[in-house]
Structure 1
Amino acid sequence: MSLLRAKIQDVFNEPACEQNRGKDAKARKEGCSKPLTPGAAAGGCAFDGAKIVLQPITDVAHLVHGPLACEGNSWDNRGAASSGPTLWRTSFTTDLTELDVVMGRGERKLFKAIIEIKEAYGPPAIFVYPTCVTALIGDDIEAVCKRAAEKYGLAVVPVNAPGFVGSKNLGNKLAGEALLERVIGTLEPDDAGPYDINILGEFNLSGEFWLVKPLLDRLGIRVRACIPGDARYVDIACAHRARAAMVVCSTALINLARKMDERWDIPFFEGSFYGITDTSDALRNIAELLVKQGADPEILGRTEVLIAEEEAIAWKKLAAYRPRLAGKRVLLNTGGVKSWSVVHALMEIGIEIVGTSVKKSTVEDKERIKQILKDDNHIFEQMAARELYAMLSERKADIMLSGGRTQFIALKAKTPWLDINQERQHPYAGYDGMVELVRQIDIAIHNPIWAQVREPAPWDCQPAREERPRTKSETPTLHAVQEFAGTTAGNFGDC
C-alpha cells in the first residue's frame, strides 16, 4: 500500500501538466488534481478510469479481482471497436463473496482464475485489477501475479488502481504507469523503422481511428502502437521503438508520453483529429517530428499534397450543409479535448457556439478555448441540470451536443440532441468524420419531429366555436353529442 501511495503522489506531480509548469517546487508537490470528495463517485472512480484505458487492448484478458458488481459496472462502458480479437469483450472476475473475504480466500481464488483463463483462452497477457474490497483486505495482487507469471510463462500485469484512491482521471494515469513499468519495452520488434509513431489517448470509439489510419498509411507512416484503441499486447510491448508520438487526450496519458520521451527519446505533441484544420495540423506535426528524428524531409511535401487533396474533398462535401447550418447555435456539454477540438471544428462551417463545458479539461485546453471563442462568457465549468433545461427551453441553442447523461434534459426541453461522448454510434474523427458530424447535426436540427412536439396538445386548446347556452331541462342525447364531436373535430382556434 505504501508503494501505491508513492505512485499516486508521483502521478499527481506531473511536470508535463501545463498548470504545474508555472509553479514553484513547493506548490508543484501539491499536484494538479482536485482533492477527492468522500462519497462523490460521479464521473467514475480510479478503477473505472484504469479499466477504460486498458480494456480496449483487444487480445488481453482483463480480470477484475473483487465482487461481481465491480466488473458489471465497468464492462463495455465505452464504444471502442476492434479489427480482430474479441477477447476483451469477455468479462472475467473472481466474483469475491463475503465468505471469501472472511475466510481469506481472495489470493487463492485469484491464482485459480488466472490458471483457468490461461488454459481456456491462452491470451498473450492477463491484466489484473484490484478493487476497493481486495485492496482494503490486503490481498497481495503483485505477489500472486508474479508467481503465476513465473510458473506458467505468461505476462500477468497487476494494475494497482482500486477505486477509493481517487478519481477516474487518476485511474487513467495509473493505467499508463502500469503499461510503462510492466509492458512497454518488454519485447523488441524486428521491423523498427524511421516512420513509426505512437498514438496515445485514442480509444477508437465507433471505429473512428480507422478514418485516420488510412491517411497515415498513404504517407508511409506506421502506427507502432495506438494506446489503447484497437491495440494488441505485442504492439504496446514494442512501443518504445517508435520515433515520435501524438497525445490525443492529454488528461489521460500525458504522464506516459512524458516518461517515454525521457526513457526512449520519443518526442510528443498534443493534437486532435476532430475538424478539418486540426486534422491537417496533426498530420503536419507528425511529419515534422519524424523529420527531426531523422526521417527523409520529403515526407513534408507529401503531407502537404495529401492535406490539400483531402481538404478539397471535405470542403466540397460540406458546402451543401453550410447554408443549412450557418448561424445555428450549439451548446456543447462535454469536456476534455472535445471542449476545444469540436468547438473549432464546428466554427469552421459557420456554426455559433453558445457554450462549452470545461469540467474535465486541462488548463491548456481552456486556453485553447479562449483563443478560439475570444469570449470567456461562453465557457462554463459545470452547469446544473436546471440551468441546462432553462437555457434549452428558452431556445438559446438549436441543438445540444453531450453525453448520454444529459440527453433527457434536451429531450424534455424539446431540443435536438446529438451524442458526442464515448457512447456515440458514429465516428467523427478525420476529414470524413467531420463530414459525418455535420451531417448528423443537420439531420437532428432539421428533423420535422421537433416542430410537431413543440406544438400544444389538442386538449390544451380551446374550441373556436361558441356553444349555445342550454336550459336546465335540455339534456344532450348520444346522437347530439356524436354530431357535435363530428362537426367540431379539428375545429380549434390558434393555440
Structure 2
Amino acid sequence: MSSLNTKIQDVFNEPACENNQSKDVKARKKGCSKPLTPGAAAGGCAFDGAKIVLQPITDVAHLIHAPLACEGNSWDNRGTASSGPTLWRTSFTTDLTELDVVMGQGERKLFKAIREIKEAYAPPAIFVYSSCVTELIGDDIEAVCKRATEKFGLPVVPINAPGFVGSKNLGNKLAGEALLDHVIGTVEPDDTGLYDINILGEFNLSGEFWLVKPLLDRLGIRVRACIPGDARYLDVASSHRARAAMMVCSTALINLARKMEERWDIPFFEGSFYGITDTSEALRQIAGLLVNNGADPDLLDRTEALIAAEEAIAWKKLAAYRPWLQGKRVLLNTGGVKSWSVVHALMEIGIEIVGTSVKKSTVEDKERIKQILKDENHMFESMAPRELYAMLSEHKADIMLSGGRTQFIALKAKMPWLDINQERQHPYAGYDGMVELVRQIDLAIHNPIWRQVREPAPWDCQPAVKDEPPSTKCETGAVNAFKKLAGSMAADLGGC
C-alpha cells in the first residue's frame, strides 16, 4: 500500500498538468479532481479508469483479481475496436468469494488463474488488476505477478489501481504508471526509423483512428504504438524508440507523455483529430517534430500538399450540408478534449454553439474554448438534468450532443440527440470523420419523426363538447394521420 501511496502522490504532483501547478501546495495534495463520496463512483472509480486505458491493448489477457461484480461492472464499457486480436474481449476474473477472503486464499487463487490463462490462451502478457477488496485484505499482487513471470516465462503485469483510491481520471494515470514501470522499454525493436511516432490517449472509439492512420501512412509516418487504441503488447513495449508523440487526451495520460520525454527524449504536443482545421494542424505538428528530430525536411512540403488535397475534398463534401445546418444551434454536454475540439469543428461549418460542458476539461481546454467562442457565458461546469431539459424544451437549441446517460433528457423534450461519447456507433475523427459527424447531425435534426412526436396525440384532440369540431391544429396534425391510418386498415380489411 505504501508504494501505491507514493504513486498517487507522484501523480498528484504532475508538473506537466497546468491545472495542478496553479494550486497551492495544500490543494495540490488533494489531487487533480474532486474526491469521491463514499459509495458513489461519480462517473467511474480508479479501477474503472485503469481498465479503460489498458483494455484496448487487444492481445493481452486482462485478469481482474476481485469478486465477480467488479469485472461485470467494468467489462466492455467503451466502444473501442480492434483490427486483429480479440482476446481483450474475453473476461477473466478470479471471482473471489467470502470464503476465499476469510481463508486467505486470494493469492493462491490468483496464481492458479494466471497459470490457467497461460495454458489455455498463451497471450504475450497478462495484466492483473487489483480491486478494493483485494487491496483491503492485503493480497500482494506484485509478488504474485513477479513469481508468475519467473515461473511461466511471460510478462505478468500488476495494475495497482483499487477503486477506493480516487476517481476514474486518477485510474487513467495509474495505468500509465504501470506501463512505465513494467512494459514500456522492455523490448528493443530491430526496425527503428526516423518517422516513428506514438499516439497517446487515443482509444480508437468506433474505429476512429483508422480514419487518421491512412493519412500518416501516405506521409511515410509509422505509428509505432497507439496507446491504447488497437494496440499490441509488443508495440507498447517498444514504444520508447519513437521519435515524436501526440497527446490526444491530456487528462488521461499526461504523466505518460511527460515521463517518456524525460526518459527517452520523445517530444510531444497536445492536439486533436476532430475537425478540419485541428486535423491539419495535428499533421503539421507531427511533421515538424519529426523533422526537428532528424527526418527529411521534405516531409513538411509533402504534409502541406496532403493537407491541401484532403481539405479540398472535405470542404466540397461539407458544402452540401451548409444550407441545411447554417445557424443551427447545438448544446454540447461532454468534456475533456471534445469540449473544445468538437466546438471548433462545428463552428467551421456555421453551426452555433449555445453551450458546452467543461466538467472534465483542463485549464488548457477551457482557454481554447474561450478563444473559440469569445464568450464565457456559453461554458458551464455542470448543468443539472432539469436545466438541460428546460433549455431543450424551450427550443434554445436544435440538438444536443452528449453521452448516453443524458439522451433521455433530449428525448423527453422531443428534441434530437446525437451520441458524441465513447458509446457512439460512428467514427468522427479526421477529415472523413468530420463529414460523418455533420451528416449524422443533419440526419438527426431533419428526421421527420420529430415533427410527428411533437404533434398532439389523437386522444388529446377530442372535442370538449359533443358537436364541437376539433381544432384546426389537431385536424391537420395527428387526427389526419390517424384517419389516414384508419382508412388504410379499412381498405386492407375490405380487400380480404
Q: One fold, TM greater than 0.5?
A: yes
Aligned to 2:102: 102
Q: How does 1:439-450 map to 2 (within 5 A)?
A: 439-450=439-450
Matched, 1:278 2:278: yes
Q: How does 1:396-415 map to 2 (within 5 A)?
A: 396-415=396-415
Q: How does 1:337-352 map to 2 (within 5 A)?
A: 337-352=337-352
Residue 80 of structure 1 contacts residue 207 of structure 1 at CA under 8 Å; is this kept in 2?
A: yes
Aligned to 1:89: 89
Residue 42 of structure 2 contacts residue 167 of structure 2 at CA under 8 Å; is this kept in 1?
A: no
- TM-score, normalised to structure 1, is 0.93
Structure 1, unaligned stretches of length 5 or more? 469-485
Instruction: Tell me the SS of whatever aligns to 1:69.
Output: helix
Residue 36 of structure 2 contacts residue 42 of structure 2 at CA under 8 Å; is this kept in 1?
A: no
Q: How does 1:68-467 map to 2 (within 5 A)?
A: 68-463=68-463, 467=467
Deviation sequence 1:61-83 (CA, Å, 0-9, x none): 00000011100111110010000
Instruction: Tell me the SS of whatever aligns to 2:33.
Output: coil
- TM-score, normalised to structure 2, is 0.93
Name the CA distance, whole Å, in 2 between partners of 1:121 and 1:178.
23
Aligned to 1:51: 51
Task: Give how far 1:285 is off.
Answer: 0.4
Task: Give how far 1:459 is off.
Answer: 1.5
Aligned to 1:37: 37
Name the CA distance, whole Å, in 2 between partners of 1:285 and 1:22.
27
Task: Give how far 1:460 is off.
Answer: 1.3
Task: Give how far 1:458 is off.
Answer: 1.4
Name the CA distance, whole Å, in 1 between partners of 2:405 and 2:55.
22
Instruction: Tell me the SS of whatever aligns to 2:157.
Output: strand
Residue 334 of structure 2 contacts residue 358 of structure 2 at CA under 8 Å; is this kept in 1?
A: yes
Which amino acid is the alignment partner of residue 139 of structure 2? D
Residue 12 of structure 2 contacts residue 20 of structure 2 at CA under 8 Å; is this kept in 1?
A: no
Instruction: Tell me the SS of whatever aligns to 1:224.
Output: strand
Task: Give how far 1:7 is off.
Answer: 0.6
Residue 68 of structure 1 contacts residue 95 of structure 1 at CA under 8 Å; is this kept in 2?
A: yes
Name the CA distance, whole Å, in 2 between partners of 1:77 and 1:104.
31
Task: Give how far 1:332 is off.
Answer: 0.4
Task: Give how far 1:444 is off.
Answer: 0.3
Deviation sequence 1:77-136 (CA, Å, 0-9, x none): 001000000000000000001111111100000000000000000000000001111110
Name the CA distance, whole Å, in 1 between partners of 2:24 and 2:301.
43
Residue 12 of structure 1 contacts residue 33 of structure 1 at CA under 8 Å; is this kept in 2?
A: no
Aligned to 1:64: 64
Task: Give how far 1:34 is off.
Answer: 2.4
Which amino acid is the alignment partner of residue 124 of structure 1? P
Q: Please say which of residues 34-43 and 397-406 is displaced more in the overlay.
A: 34-43
Task: Give how far 1:26 is off.
Answer: 6.3
Residue 13 of structure 1 contacts residue 30 of structure 1 at CA under 8 Å; is this kept in 2?
A: no
Name the CA distance, whole Å, in 2 between partners of 1:363 and 1:127.
33
Aligned to 2:10: 10
Name the CA distance, whole Å, in 1 between partners of 2:217 and 2:402.
32
Name the CA distance, whole Å, in 2 between partners of 1:423 and 1:404.
7
Residue 197 of structure 1 contacts residue 225 of structure 1 at CA under 8 Å; is this kept in 2?
A: yes
Task: Give how far 1:36 is off.
Answer: 2.9
Instruction: Tell me the SS of whatever aligns to 2:78.
Output: coil
Instruction: Tell me the SS of whatever aligns to 2:133.
Output: helix
Which amino acid is the alignment partner of residue 459 of structure 2? W
Q: Superposition RMSD on alpha carbons, in Å?
A: 1.6
Instruction: Tell me the SS of whatever aligns to 1:225.
Output: strand
Name the CA distance, whole Å, in 2 between partners of 1:8 and 1:18.
18
Name the CA distance, whole Å, in 2 between partners of 1:314 and 1:464.
56
Name the CA distance, whole Å, in 2 between partners of 1:383 and 1:33.
18
Name the CA distance, whole Å, in 2 between partners of 1:354 and 1:379.
9
CA distance 1:205–1:146, shift in 2 (3 Å): same
Name the CA distance, whole Å, in 1 between partners of 2:357 and 2:232.
34
Name the CA distance, whole Å, in 2 between partners of 1:214 and 1:64.
35
Q: Percent identity?
A: 87
User: How many positions carry a matched residue from both structures?
Assistant: 472
Instruction: Tell me the SS of whatever aligns to 2:134.
Output: helix
Residue 14 of structure 1 contacts residue 31 of structure 1 at CA under 8 Å; is this kept in 2?
A: no
Instruction: Tell me the SS of whatever aligns to 1:331.
Output: strand
Aligned to 2:475: none
Name the CA distance, whole Å, in 2 between partners of 1:142 and 1:354.
49
Name the CA distance, whole Å, in 2 between partners of 1:71 and 1:403.
22
CA distance 1:349–1:359, shift in 2 (3 Å): same
Instruction: Tell me the SS of whatever aligns to 2:235.
Output: helix
Instruction: Tell me the SS of whatever aligns to 2:123.
Output: coil
Name the CA distance, whole Å, in 2 between partners of 1:254 and 1:214.
26
Name the CA distance, whole Å, in 2 between partners of 1:354 and 1:262.
41
Residue 58 of structure 2 contacts residue 88 of structure 2 at CA under 8 Å; is this kept in 1?
A: yes
Deviation sequence 1:319-347 (CA, Å, 0-9, x none): 00000000000000000100000000000
Task: Give how far 1:28 is off.
Answer: 4.7
Name the CA distance, whole Å, in 2 between partners of 1:56 and 1:249.
15
Deviation sequence 1:335-365 (CA, Å, 0-9, x none): 0100000000000000000000111111110
Name the CA distance, whole Å, in 2 between partners of 1:221 and 1:134.
43
**Which structure is larger by alpha-carbon Rg, 1 or 2?**
1
Name the CA distance, whole Å, in 2 between partners of 1:462 and 1:414.
22
Structure 2, unaligned stretches of length 5 or more? 469-478, 485-496
Instruction: Tell me the SS of whatever aligns to 1:198.
Output: strand
Name the CA distance, whole Å, in 1 between partners of 2:463 and 2:24.
73
Task: Give how far 1:221 is off.
Answer: 0.3
Name the CA distance, whole Å, in 2 between partners of 1:213 and 1:171.
28
